[in-house]
Chains A and B, each alone.
Chain A
Amino acid sequence: QQQVKQSPQSLIVQKGGISIINCAYENTAFDYFPWYQQFPGKGPALLIAIRPDVSEKKEGRFTISFNKSAKQFSLHIMDSQPGDSATYFCAASRNAGNMLTFGGGTRLMVKP
């Protein structure tokens, strides 16, 4: 059972545009929601994370928006750059637990 659903599967954005990736979860016990960035041949690297007690978190050009009632969260990349071209994964964890449940990934391409 896929507990974290991610969309879209792929995304093409012009340089300077806004990239938006969405995730929905089912398990209301989840309380930690990180986003990871993965380049080809590399492992995922943590970008930004949020807890459900806040509705938004911003770090530089990256913002997470969180909607607890809808069980959805999203990643916004402002002023997207070609160097942002990578695969992005949302994930969720329960009670600071020992495992992350990942979404299926979004392949982002930023055109110059």
Chain B
Amino acid sequence: ETGVTQSPTHLIKTRGQQVTLRCSSQSGHNTVSWYQQALGQGPQFIFQYYREEENGRGNFPPRFSGLQFPNYSSELNVNALELDDSALYLCASSPAGQVYGYTFGSGTRLTVV
């Protein structure tokens, strides 16, 4: 059984650019949630994808968008990057659109310069 894998592990982008982060869910999980973890803080919910549709969104602007594919993998896209977008982006997979059984990946460290 494979866990949650995220790519890339580290990324440096320039302010104003766009970035795509990727997540493969754990075997048997059909739901993917994305969180942003700023340095020294707890993770904050961005959104969740269940059955290829957005299933809830946190307090993040529309320039944060996502996709889920038929194999349950997911992408997080961020447009018009700002310096404050620098953070660890965590993906978590779970069964059936809920928080029970959340398994987190190791994250993608995004630095915006």
Contacts and interface: CB of A to CB of B under 8 A. Distances in A.
B71 interface: no
B113 interface: no
A28 to B, nearest CB: 18
B103 to A, nearest CB: 8
Interface in A1-55: 4, 6, 32, 34, 36, 41-46
Interface SS of B by simple majority? loop
B41 A105 contact: yes
Interface stretch (B13-21, B61-69, B72-80, B93-101): B93-101
A101 B59 CA distance: 12
A98 B104 contact: no
A34 to B, nearest CB: 8
Which one of B43, B50, B90, B106 has the greatest number of beta carbons of chain A within 10 Å?
Answer: B43
A32 B41 CA distance: 21
Which one of A34, A36, A43 has the greatest number of beta carbons of chain B within 10 Å?
Answer: A43
Given A43-B90, A43-B104, A101 B45 contact: yes
A97 B56 contact: yes
Contact of B98 (A41, A43, A98, A104): A98
Which one of B56, B92, B100 has the greatest number of beta carbons of chain A within 10 Å?
Answer: B100
Interface string B29-52: 001010000001111110010100
B4 interface: yes
Interface of B: 4, 31, 33, 40-45, 48, 50, 55-56, 58, 90, 92, 97-100, 102, 104-107
24 contacts: A32-B99, A32-B100, A34-B99, A34-B102, A43-B92, A43-B105, A43-B106, A44-B90, A45-B104, A46-B102, A89-B42, A96-B100, A97-B99, A98-B55, A98-B56, A98-B98, A99-B33, A99-B48, A100-B43, A100-B99, A102-B42, A103-B42, A105-B41, A105-B42
